[in-house]
Amino acid sequence: MTNLQGTASSTMLAQIYSLPAMIRDIWPAFDRNAREALDDELCLAAKRLFLAGCGDSHHAALASELALESLVGLPTEPMTALQFSRYAVDFLPDKSLVIGISVSGQVSRTLEAIQRARKARATTIGLTGTPGSRIALAGDRFLSTATPPFDFAPGVRTYVATLLMLYLAAVRLGEARGKLTLAQAANTRAEIASLADAVEQTLALCDEPARQLARDWQDANEFVFTGGGPNFGTALFSAAKIIEACGDSAVGQDTEEWTHLQYFARAVNTPTFIITAGDRDVSRAHEVAVAAKTIGRRVIIIVPEDFRGFGDLEGLDTWRFAPIRELFSPLVACVPGMLFAAYRAQFIGEPFFRAFGGGRDVAGGGGISRIRTSEMVMDTKNR
């Protein structure tokens, strides 16, 4: 490592730089947990898969959809916990498998989603970083994403841990269902373990570009991130880190939808980050980059290191992440946005989460937002 350790001068940066070691440390336990919790009977019985969560947990659900459908062979629907619990649960097909995702394990809406899914006779799994929490105890099964403690900052370790477990759960489900041979499952697990090296490589590639632009673009107060397929989740997550770390307005948008919405925004030079794994969405990402550049946006392309498909677009900043299959790319492609948010917070001197000021507080797991104390609906009939 060059001077990367020296750049970890804030708690958020320290979290980011801890990711490779964290992945190596937790991967074996996560793999054992997935194998033990997801037995053959459960895996074979499922006919449809639903993921429900809030915030980063929802972003991780979106980011893992391609991996789950590719490796498991089941239709998979990621939803916000509210959408699932209040609108979708009444219409669950038979033999649905529902995974409720919550780092704290205490979020009321995700708990409601699991409890209502059980009443609707679905099989449920609580995926959380907090053993013994309400969500860990509510599901038929429990997948633990617990990580070693770290100083408080906008969540990056927890997001990566959630993705890691979802990927390993996908391998276990695919193996049990015969979608993957034993050899294919073993190779895919090794590929997931190698994501630690990919994150380390991406840190080396993106640290200086992220720090430089965070310094140069201190005048900006709005940011847009676009991504297609699994990296729509990456775009939402990256925007969330800007909001949490810096307090700025930030939007995560589907690549196609940018051309229907943000294309018409009045502000000319809004920083616009276009994230692509250089695969299925790449032609549209290229067109969006051309359009964004033409109307005056400050454009950053985030692509794999070995991808050269945007070489014809001169004058664009390009950040590169380690090459990885598209279905696993969200775990690596999220690193540039993390770094940019952390460095921007440093340069503008902004406290994380607005220091919970202006009427915000953390009492009761969310204060006035009532994240953990929200009224819950338990019936499974249409309201």
Q: What is the pLDDT of residues 186-221, one digit of tens each?
A: 999 999 999 999 999 999 999 999 999 999 999 999
Cα separation, 179 vs 196, in Å, equals 25
For the chain, what is the domain count?
2
Mean pLDDT of all residues in the chain? 94
Identify whether residues 249 and 324 lie together within a single domain: yes
CB atoms within 10 A of CB 174: 23
Nearest residue to 110 (alpha-carbon basis) of 175, 196, 50: 50
Task: Please report whether residue 356 resides in a domain.
Answer: no
What's 255's domain CATH number?
A: 3.40.50.10490
Phi and psi at residue 53, to the nearest 5°: -170, 175
Identify whether residues 315 and 170 lie together within a single domain: no
Identify whether residues 95 and 152 lie together within a single domain: yes
Identify whether residues 186 and 73 lie together within a single domain: yes
Does the structure show a pLDDT above 60 at 5? no
Q: How does pLDDT run across 64-94, given as a tens digit for each residue?
A: 999 999 999 999 999 999 999 999 999 999 9
Identify whether residues 34 and 157 lie together within a single domain: yes
Q: Tell me, what's the pLDDT at 151?
A: 85
Q: Which residues contact 118 (CB under 8 A, 6 or more apart)?
A: 124, 138, 139, 140
Cα separation, 130 vs 178, in Å, equals 31
Q: Tell me, what's the pLDDT at 365?
A: 65
Q: Which residues contact 5 (CB under 8 A, 6 or more apart)?
A: 17
Identify whether residues 290 and 341 lie together within a single domain: yes
Q: Which residues contact 292 (CB under 8 A, 6 or more apart)?
A: 258, 263, 272, 274, 299
Return the percentage of the chain with pLDDT > 90, whole number: 86
Does the structure show a pLDDT above 70 at 302? yes
Identify whether residues 178 and 216 lie together within a single domain: no
CB atoms within 10 A of CB 141: 18
Q: How does pLDDT run across 134-150, given as a tens digit for each residue?
A: 999 999 999 999 999 88
Reading the block at residue 143, the tokens are: 């997948």
Give the domain-ending residue among 193, 215, 247. Answer: 193
Identify whether residues 206 and 105 lie together within a single domain: no
Highest mean pLDDT among 144-153, 158-167, 355-364: 158-167
Identify whether residues 238 and 152 lie together within a single domain: no
Does the structure show a pLDDT above 80 at 261? yes
What's the domain range around 232?
200-350
Task: Please report whether residue 105 resides in a domain.
Answer: yes
Q: Which residues contact 153 (CB under 8 A, 6 or more apart)?
A: 10, 11, 12, 14, 15, 245, 352
Give the domain-ending residue among 165, 193, 221. Answer: 193
Does the structure show a pLDDT above 80 at 382? no
Task: Please report whether residue 272 resides in a domain.
Answer: yes
Task: Please report whether residue 361 resides in a domain.
Answer: no
Identify whether residues 183 and 209 lie together within a single domain: no
Identify whether residues 217 and 270 lie together within a single domain: yes
Q: How many Å separate Cα 321 from the centre of its chain?
A: 16
Q: What is the pTM of this model?
A: 0.95
pLDDT band at 3; cut points 50, 70, 90: very low
Q: Tell me, what's the pLDDT at 194?
A: 98
Task: Please report whether residue 372 resides in a domain.
Answer: no
Identify whether residues 183 and 206 lie together within a single domain: no
Task: Please report whether residue 367 resides in a domain.
Answer: no
